[in-house]
Structure 1
């Protein structure tokens, strides 16, 4: 069936507008981090917000007020987790992954690759995407907390201070 009735369409149209406005407001209050995919927890919150929005829009069993409360609760939980992560190293390691060194001085770090389930061809692709044709031209490839790979080129400066927080 294409549609049940015009009331259902009108409900979806009105609730969509109001829920969207409420979500934008909650996200603006929560800050930029609410939409960042910096770690697994941030990704889960982003997906949960999308799922909540879809439920509010399409389910007659969920009132708009309940959906707005769910948006606010998710944003508040994310704020609380990030706040606790700043002050507690133990909690930070519980909810956040550490960046991982996958290639160093042109050499694959096979143990780290196996633990992170990353193949040599994926590292090679990241190196090529960074504009390098040779692994030897690369000082390091780091698997970041968001799943992306950072490629650090060799330079005149041998001290790679940006790798201080990277798990070796």
Structure 2
């Protein structure tokens, strides 16, 4: 049997906007909770984290084998580590130079 050209079935097609909306809302909530620094004044490290967040979000949307909650839990450590590293870099010149 050949692969479908447009989509597999209606439930899989409807999953994308629903999971997309919920995962995006969860990401925005996490980013807002971690502070505005995460969204502004980007340096190279911030760019890498942003790309990693986008990659994780797209995987959550397009891979039906990943449940929404597991995907959100995959985003949380990235946002938390970004916050922690940013916090450290503001308070430590050594960490700031490394980043």
TM-score (norm 2): 0.86
How far is 1:37 from its partner? 4.8
Partner of 1:11: 15
C-alpha root-mean-square deviation of aligned residues, in Å? 1.3
Partner of 1:65: 69
Which of 22, 45, 49 in structure 1 is aligned with 2:49? 45
Structure 2 residues not aligned, in runs of 5+: none
Structure 1 residues not aligned, in runs of 5+: 96-168
Which of 41, 56, 59 in structure 2 is aligned with 1:55? 59
Runs of 4+ in 1 over 6 A off after TM superposition: none
Mark the structure with the bigger radius of gyration.
Answer: 1
**How many aligned positions are there?**
95
TM-score (norm 1): 0.53
Task: Please state whether the residue corresponding to 1:92 is helix, strand or coil.
Answer: helix
Partner of 2:97: 93
Highest RCO, 1 vs 2 (Cα 8 Å, sep ≥ 6) = 2
